[in-house]
Structure 1
């Protein structure tokens, strides 16, 4: 599987862009601020539905635009010959739901598109997977989930929607005060019971699916970390769900409902959901201890690399494809040892997209040195794309075409 073409409209810094890509190693080279990371981020968004750089998709829409569109042509999918390609299109809307299309077909929800392209991104932000807050680890779980479970994206969106509706109702109750004979408050409490029931049903399903995904990643993660770190180091993953009763007690929904009822006063007082999948975490242990507290900076990097490599391996084995690998400005952050480890890994991939500020940031060990690299000057690409879409330049090009036809 590889990306053959990427096309953007009103995406971050790119008003328009068309970029042809090939299998093998491609380096997107340019100074900071030219938009090289925006290019690979767009591929990540189509593949997984999220960006490693932001918690929401709204910042991806260019300033002043009402929407942004990403199109990717993907070749080499399972059961597909090399000459054919599938076009995946995602439109991000400032207002309303994000949409998607396959091969220009009918419009669908974006959740029906994500997960179809196998893609794993390595970025400087990966260190937060170990030392950062739980949100970064939930994002990793969500990315792994959409790549490994077809139903994951729909279930996640459903659970997120219900959580927002329930949270809004809790805020409403918090502002209404505690007036016993207020009919509006009584209706709100009845509505809270309904939303709680839906929240439990969707949340339990998502919790169990996440637990299964962590279980599938556990063995490859431990094995890969041991290979990378050596010295008999032992790393483990443990899922830490907010709905821990689901896994520890296999509790029926009635029991979870009673648990929520005990939490109602605190939830209303704070105006927010106190438990649920939006508060899940994943513990990373090193030699039996919490890595976020005991691991060194170098060990955290190695743990993060092992996590991403474990997702790559699991997706490859379960889906029968070699995921596309994105290395977004990682080499400036890594020492020589870890540079070598990640390049040894990348050398075996079918398509590797690297962003870098200078050629010197790229280890020469990748696929035999600079001769094996396809280097794209992002500054020049930006100039070419701007000229291509400049009205005066387009008019001149059209006039030249007419003159040629007359001859």
Structure 2
């Protein structure tokens, strides 16, 4: 099974698609957090699966209730089991939320340091986890469970009307801030790239601190950066134990990343010398 091989080979991938971490929708940032959680502790794949399974079942019940309400002129389906699913969702959701909050706290200083190295003088960065319901962020798993249960009770009517779960980790957001403003919508293209790279570099440092050297994969990233950012990124990753770089143009790869080079064309691979 895929989950059986999690953690055997840990990698950190830099790719052009990483820009979506800054400019994309909240799902991109939630996925970033959850994939990093799983890389650090493979057992958390089970926590994610538990939550997704409960969410799917609860949404199915709400959808059935919403359809029955519309078909029955306001009379809904039997919702006697909804509170049971509320409990399951709150327990699994609280555990996932608690781990995410711990991860965000660990990432914050590393992202700040990495961004400062990539874009000196570019301003302060901040990671702010925002819950899908009002109130202060929980300080424990137990508190998170209580808050989520209360939030589910509060939005029960809207959920039955819309046929979908409206609160929980699947709707939380990781807000990326550059200075006092959110990076999304305000950061320039270069700033957004630097922020995205800082998130990946912070992930790399976090995995290194856990023990074992991750494999760094830089997939056609340098073409997206100006010369100064190319050189700074190369300096930051050059000390990696294993660094794999792909580039459409060989000259895009900084000299600091010297090593074996291969050319790939029409399915053939050849070693490049010189």
Same fold (TM over 0.5): yes
Whether 1:337 and 2:228 are equivalent positions in the alignment is yes
Which residue of structure 2 lines up, in the alignment, with residue 137 of structure 1?
29
Cα 1:317–1:181 change in 2 (3 A) is: closer
Provide TM-score, normalisation by structure 1. Answer: 0.61
1:298: Cα distance to partner? 0.7
Q: Say what the alpha-carbon RMSD is for the aligned residues.
A: 2.4
- Give CA deviations for 1:305-349 in whole Å, capped at 9, x if unaligned: 11110110111012x212101111212211111211222123111
Tell me the number of residue pairs that the alignment of Structure 1 and Structure 2 aligns: 266
Check conservation: 2:110, 2:202, Cα contact below 8 A: yes
Instruction: Verify: 1:373 aligned to 2:265, yes or no.
Output: no
- Please give the alpha-carbon distance, in whole angstroms, between the structure 2 residues aligned to 1:123 and 1:252: 34
Q: Residues of 2 paired with 1:306 and 1:225: CA distance? A: 5
Q: 2:57 aligns with which of 141, 165, 172?
A: 165
SS in 2 for 1:365: helix
- 1:71 maps to none
Matched, 1:215 2:102: no
- Which residue of 1 is the match for residue 198 of structure 2? 306
> Do the aligned partners of 1:207 and 1:243 also contact (CA within 8 Å) in 2?
no
Select the residue among 227, 230, 237 that pairs with 1:346: 237
Contact 1:243-1:277 within 8 A present in 2 as well: no
Matches of 2:155 and 2:62 in 1, distance apart? 12
1:107-256 alignment to 2 at 5 Å? Answer: 110-177=2-69, 185-186=77-78, 189-231=79-121, 233-242=123-132, 245=135, 247-248=137-138, 251=143, 253=145, 256=148
In 2, Cα distance between equivalents of 1:252 and 1:148: 22
Greater helix fraction, Structure 1 or Structure 2: 2
| Structure 1: gaps of 5 or more residues | 1-98, 100-109, 383-407
Contact 1:171 1:272 survives alignment (8 Å): yes
Deviation at 1:216, TM superposition (A): 0.7
Task: Tell me the TM-score normalised to structure 2 length.
Answer: 0.88
1:389 corresponds to which residue? Answer: none
> Partners of 2:7 and 2:131 in 1: how far apart?
23
Larger Cα-atom Rg: 1
Taking the aligned partners of 1:193 and 1:345, their CA distance within structure 2 comes to 51
Q: Is the 1:116–1:147 contact (alpha carbons within 8 Å) kept by the matching residues of 2?
A: no
Rounded to whole Å, the distance in 2 between the matches of 1:345 and 1:194 is 50
